[in-house]
Amino acid sequence: MIAATGGCASPFHAASALDFIPPAEMRALQLARLQATVRRTHQRVAVFRERLAALGIAPEDIRSLDDLSQLPFTVKADLRETYPFGLFASPMEEIVRLHASSGTTGKPIVVAYTREDVDVWSNVMLRAFAGCGLGRGDVIQNAYGYGLFTGGLGAHYGAETLGATVIPTSGGNSARQIMVMKDFGVTAICCTPSYFLHLIERAAEMDVDLRELPLRTGVFGAEPWTVAMRRRIEALSGIRAYDIYGLSEIIGPGVACECPAQDGLHIFEDHFYPEVIDPNSGRVLADQEEGELVLTTLSKRAMPMIRYRTRDITALASGPCACGRTLRRMKRIGRRSDDMFIIRGVNVFPSQVETALLAVEGTLPHYVIVLSRRHGLDEMEVQVEVTPEAFSDKIGALEELTATLVHAIDRVVGLRVQVRLMEPHSLARSEGKARRVIDNRSLV
Amino acid sequence: MKIRQLSLFLENKPGRLTEPCRFLAANGINIRTLTLADTRQFGILRIVAPEPDRTAELLAAAGYLVKVTEVVALEVPDQPGGLAGVLEVFDHSGINIEYMYALAAGHKGKAVIVFRFDQPDLAIERLNAAGVNIVDSADVYQG
């Protein structure tokens, strides 16, 4: 059951038992939990209660899982409008943790956890790691950022609960990451796939061949990446690279994760009930049909989410998986149904950049965001036109303007990006909806 | 006395420098001298040409980001220490030279350097007092 050293930990960890139960049993468990969640949320969250009342729905009307489709959606704007605590279903005395992620207006979205929620989170992250073949004896380097972002602590608790050795390196300081990886006998790493690509390059510069290290597993998430990029990572580093999915609004990382079959992400559906809908009509789609992922938390206490629209585009699959798990699977996330983009693990909306640019004198409200990938790292360049007033015959004055813009964007978005001053009228004007983001990141 | 210099904002990309030069040629404007200050992302093309205000209007109408700045052209003795002697005029004066460049054709066989001062009027006062020959703008524009 337990490997003496990293390398052959059993994927059948005791905590993973629910990964393998017959679908009928899972449905019964889901229905019971859904009914309890709807009742409790109705009782404790005024917004939800008012919405059900307006629709003439009572919690008792949820008699089957199909009845879920009668309930209204929850969207990101609901979290902003009720900022900070309006959707909490537990009193602060029962809440043991708050996290936050960025929102469109610069205001973050706040999410809360009770003791039980943290345990659920640890449980699903444990099952995610176990599904990637990790267990006691593994040394896991956690290079997700620790802080308000859910990635760092979510992975940390899961790996500790699994019984693995956790090294909380957090993000950044690549040379030290490589040193730790080499000297501490790291067998698995968690971070964004683009950061790992960067580490591969840094290792080569330091004459460290990752293929000769004990490192054999990567659990990568928090940004979209393709199968082709997975192949590249696996070939360059000699590891197996797994895709993990999650979002703060639901719990953080650990909503779904790949297994050794690497054929879709198993959703921990005893805690998160998935639906895929047509993003325009809201109609629930059948298995294999591509649409927007909608998630309902089945056990979350501090901040239950009923039919949360993730904006992530995927499709569900119910068939048996080669790994033996009966948990339904979702396709890797390739795109989102809104204009938000993720760069270096940070959610960015074009409107945030616009707000920052407009706060600085000297530029025209004509801008475009160009995303690219260089040396395995995501780059964001904001191209913006200069006003005649701001133009100077002195280089220094224009460089100062650039620096001011970089700082203004950093303040709102939380990222230092490139700013390129452009001639007036040099950026394409659109006749309809402006194309603010040009994404040249080839996910290869 | 002062010269009205044109500055054009240019994106740093291949071929970008040709366009304004071709535009001025098409309008029969003879560039007396030009210099390019560049960064990795953008450049500033500084031009001395006849009828600067009309030329600036033409450029602006053609969509260029253009600015007119006053600069001063000085005759500098074409011999060792010639420039150093002129620069000494500004020692302890509080006048800052933002940038400078040479006039391509010179003037009457002498070297001419174009200066962008932060305080051009004070600079001219000092230069006159020191007996440095300031080249007349008409001579600079027409050669």
Pick the most confident of A128-142, A338-352, A379-393, B51-65.
Answer: A128-142
- Grouping H, G, I as helix, E, B as strand and the rest as coil, residue A330 is strand
Strand ordering across the sheet containing A165-167:
A165-167, A139-142, A188-191, A217-220, A240-247, A252-258, A265-267, A329-330, A316-317
Contact (CB<8Å) A392/B67: yes
Query: A44-58, A223-237, B21-35, B80-94 — which one is most confidently predicted on average?
Result: A44-58
pLDDT exceeds cutoff 50 at A425:
yes
Answer yes or no: do A285 and A407 share one domain.
no
Least confident range of A54-68, A339-353, B82-96: A339-353
Judge: A423–B64 Cβ closer than 8 Å, yes or no. yes
What mean pLDDT is predicted for residues A273-288?
A: 95
pLDDT confidence bin for B98, thresholds 50/70/90:
very high
pLDDT(A444) > 80: no
Contacts 24+ apart (CB under 8 A), B84-91: B86/B113, B86/B127, B86/B132, B89/B126, B89/B127, B89/B130, B89/B132, B90/B123, B90/B126
Top pLDDT among B39 and A208 is at A208
Q: Given an 8 Å threshold on Cβ–Cβ distance, is B9 in contact with A395?
A: no
Q: Give the closest residue to B9 by CA, choosing from B48, B70, B64, B56.
A: B64
Is A424's Cβ below 8 Å from some Cβ in B?
A: yes
Percent of chain A with pLDDT over 90: 64
Nearest to A44 by CA among A27, A59, A24: A59
Residue A265's pLDDT is what?
A: 98
- pLDDT for A367: 82
Determine the pLDDT at residue A345. Answer: 82
What pLDDT, on the 0 to 100 scale, is given for residue A283?
Answer: 96
Q: Is residue A249 located within the same domain as residue A373?
A: no
Predicted local confidence at residue A6, as pLDDT = 42
Q: Residue A356 falls within a domain, yes or no? A: yes
**What digits encode the pLDDT tens for the residues A23-36?**
999 999 999 999 99
List C-alpha distances in Å: A242 to A247, A385, A391, B18.
17, 42, 49, 51
Q: What is the mean predicted confidence (pLDDT) over A309-320?
A: 92
Same-domain status, A116 and A149: yes
pTM (two decimals): 0.64
Same domain, A29 and A141: yes
> What range defines the domain where residue A354 resides?
343-439
Per cent of chain A over pLDDT 70 is 91
* Average pLDDT estimate for A349-376: 81
User: Assign residue A32 a region: left if phi > 0, alpha if psi is -120 to 50, beta otherwise?
Assistant: alpha
SS (H, E, C) B96-115: CEEEEEECCCCECCEEEEEE
- What pLDDT is recorded for position A386? 87
- Give me the mean pLDDT over the A371-400 stretch: 88
3-state secondary structure of A381: strand
pLDDT at A5: 42
Is the Cβ pair B42, A420 closer than 8 Å?
yes
Average pLDDT over residues A396-408: 92
Does B63 touch chain A if contact means CB atoms closer than 8 Å? Answer: yes
The answer, for B64 touching chain A at a CB cutoff of 8 Å, is yes
**pLDDT value of position A7:** 42
Q: Which of A338, A371, A400 is the last residue of a domain?
A: A338
User: Can you tell me the ipTM of this complex?
Assistant: 0.81
Structure confidence at residue A228 (pLDDT): 67
Q: B11 vs A424: CB contact, 8 Å cut-off?
A: no
Q: Is A283 on the interface with B (CB under 8 A)?
A: no
Mean pLDDT on B15-35: 91
pLDDT(A312) > 60: yes
In terms of CATH, what superfamily is B3-69? VC0802-like (3.30.2130.10)
Nearest CA in chain B to A420: B41
More confident residue, A205 or A284: A284
Q: Which helix (H) or strand (E) segment is A369 a member of?
A: strand A363-374
Quote the mean pLDDT of chain B. 90
Residue A5 lies in a domain: no
Choose from A370, A389, A393 for mutation: most chain B CBs within 10 A.
A393
Domain boundaries, chain B: 3-69, 71-142
The alpha carbons of chain B give a radius of gyration, in whole angstroms, of 16
CATH number of the domain within which A375 lies: 3.30.300.30
Q: Which residues from chain A sit within 8 angstroms of residue B65, using beta carbons?
A: 386, 388, 391, 423-424
Do the Cβ atoms of A393 and B11 come within 8 Å? no
Correct CATH for B71-142 of 3.90.1170.40, 1.20.120.420, 3.30.2130.10, 3.40.50.300: 3.30.2130.10
A106 and A231 housed in the same domain: yes
Same-domain status, A305 and A407: no
Same domain for A380 and A257, yes or no, is no
Q: Kindly tell me if the per-residue pLDDT of A224 is higher than 80.
A: no
Closest chain A C-alpha to B84 CA, distance in angstroms: 23
CB-nearest to B69 from A393, A422, A424 is A393
Q: Is residue A259 predicted with pLDDT exceeding 50?
A: yes
Q: Please tell me if residue A360 touches chain B, with a CB cutoff of 8 Å.
A: no
